[in-house]
Amino acid sequence: MSGHTTELVVFIALFALVSGMGFVAARWRKPKDIESLDEWGLGGRNFGTWITWFLVGGDLYTAYTFVAVPALVFGAGALGFYAVPYTVVIYPLVFLVLTRLWSVSHVHGFVTPADFVRSRFGSPTLALVVAITGLVATMPYIALQLVGIEAVLQSMGVTGHWPIIVAFAILAAYTYQSGLRAPALIAFVKDTLIYIVILAAVIYIPIKLGGWGNIFDAAAAKFDKSPAPGDGTLLNVGNQLQYITLAFGSALALFLYPHSLTGVLAARNRTVIKRNMSALPAYSFLLGLIALLGYMAIAAGTKPVIGENGKPIGNTVVPVLFDNMFPDWFAGVAYAAIAIGALVPAAIMSIAAANLFTRNIYREYFNKNATDKQEATVSKLVSLVVKVGAVLCILLLDPQFSIDLQLIGGVIILQTLPSVALGLYTRWFHKGGLIAGWALGLAAGMWMLYTIPNPASGKLHFGGSAFSLGELGFDTKTTVYAGVLALAVNLLVAAVVTVALRAAKVADGVDGTRRDEYFADEGDPRVKDLDLAAPH
């Protein structure tokens, strides 16, 4: 551990400071009573533009993004830059789609996407399917946040799992106590630290490395020598379609995750969401620069930490680059920024997963007449269980496998798009068609992921998300993001089964929503403001 003492001291000091804030957060914007799901899980639904900006930003740009995206650029080049178009495409989509969800949720008091689906399609079964899909897809995402923290610790020479267990115990304790207020408050610190670190990195490191031109040339030289066919500082014939579908599919998947909705639903009104969607791309710019840290690492000759199995740990590229380039105290600040950046989304994700369980499984199937207080208690406990599950994922599984799980998670969550996102626009689909589409889309997605090998790690299956069209009998090297193809299967099946069920006159569920409810805004008497104690 010698040589990393300063880094460790700075890291621990900042981490402790932020944890203290998490516990104080319960008193922030003081609610009369935190013993309800709306208070604990949605922060009373009265967050304004600034808080929503930090909350949604903290949600979408996670520690994993800061570690894994540059690691992908380091390893594969241009393909890893898909994160930029992905985060450009997502905001107009959210702008259009989630404002509708905000309105209908505030009229009916929905907390989760499954709440909406249940009412829209009159089907508890479809709602259960959406809830379970969300839960399964979210858990590996939380685990991945730990991978980010782990990469930082490994770069400081800290091995073993106990530091992660400590970090997550702290996180679990303050989320239990303060609910959504904790990550909202911490996100301020996290973003400030990350902005400082990244601005320093993209100004200071290129100067040290002889300018951006040199950095790109060094990267191009590395990829020219590498035997792998898919890498390079530009896209090639084989991976252009993969780039497009990955960016578009990831954008569609991201706002279907229950935790993205949590941040959006906590906004005070539609204007807050729209204003945010105009301002959030500031993060995309940051993300683009972060991605380029991968090339800086190439130019600087950074060597990732070698793991216990003798293979290099790709995710340590950025932390090691910081260690080599920055003075020790600043590397400590950078590490703290990444680790705190992991805590914010992990807290929001576990709250969203807990809300899903409580609303759509506990209340639906176990306790129909649950009181507000019972719901909040169950949610708090489930958020603990979810976090323990995430820690176990890391302790019991190979971290590389948790990254693959996340990949599978994206393909899985995309299968709720017809019910949740299209459901906001049309009631045309039959509930039976949506369930059939979900099942077959999921099956198709799993099959495609199964066929994808990863030559780098020597795995034959579940080695990535780039599905080769050659598998379908086409004579081509073109690859496509498996999630988008699976979604196409889903939509096709949903449409065909809908037509068939309608022709057979099979009864459909009753729509519990009305058209004009999709446009209701703050001030409308139907829009419930359940947090009466909050200042406006």
Partner 1 sequence: MAEPPPRTDKGPWNWLLIVPIVLPLCTFLFNADEPRLMGFPLFYWLQLAFILVGVTCTVVVYRMTK
Kindly tell me which of 160 and 523 has the beta carbon lying closer to partner 1: 523
C-alpha dihedral sign at 160, 340, 386, 462: negative
Choose between 117 and 280: whose C-beta lies nearer to partner 1.
280
Least Å distance, CB 72 to partner 1, is 15
Instruction: Give the nearer residue to partner 1 in terms of CB position, either 54 or 248.
Output: 248
Q: CA-CA distance, 79 to 72, in Å (whole number)?
A: 8
Stretch (H or E) spanning 200: helix 181-208
Type of residue at 52: T
Nearest to 327 by CA among 191, 475, 200, 506: 200
Of the two residues 366 and 425, which places its CB atom closer to partner 1 in the complex? Answer: 425
In the complex with partner 1, which residue's Cβ is closer, 213 or 227? Answer: 213
The tokens for 267 are 């906004």
Q: d(Cα 25, Cα 19) in Å, to the nearest integer?
A: 10
- The least CB distance from residue 281 to partner 1, in Å, is 5
Name every residue whose Cβ is closer than 8 Å to that of residue 396 and which is 6 or more positions away in sequence: none
Min separation Cβ 297 and partner 1, Å: 16
Angle, alpha carbons 220-223-229 (nearest 5°): 135
In the complex, minimum distance from the CB of residue 95 to partner 1, in angstroms, rounded to a whole number: 6
Nearest to 179 by CA among 71, 86, 41, 9: 41
For partner 1, the closer CB: 89 or 196: 89
Q: How far is the CB of 284 from partner 1 (least distance, A)?
A: 5
Q: Tell me the three state secondary structure of residue 502.
A: helix
Q: Is-contact 354 379, C-beta < 8 A?
A: yes
- The helix or strand, by DSSP H or E, that contains position 466, with its residue range, turns out to be strand 466-468
Closest separation in Å from C-beta 319 to partner 1: 23
Residues in contact with partner 1 by CB under 8 A are: 78, 81, 84-85, 88-89, 91-93, 95-96, 99-100, 211-216, 233-235, 240, 243-244, 247-248, 271, 274-275, 277-279, 281, 284-285, 288, 292, 516, 518-521, 523-526
Residue 285 phi/psi, 5-degree rounding, is -60, -45
* Spatial separation of the C-alpha atoms in residues 180 and 45, rounded to whole Å: 10
- Shortest CB 469 distance to partner 1, Å: 17
Compute how many other C-beta atoms are within 10 angstroms of the C-beta atom of residue 83: 23
Residue with smaller CB distance to partner 1, 365 or 519: 519
Nearer to partner 1, 8 or 88 (CB): 88
Token duo for residue 448: 């495609």
Shortest Cβ 453–partner 1 spacing (Å) = 25
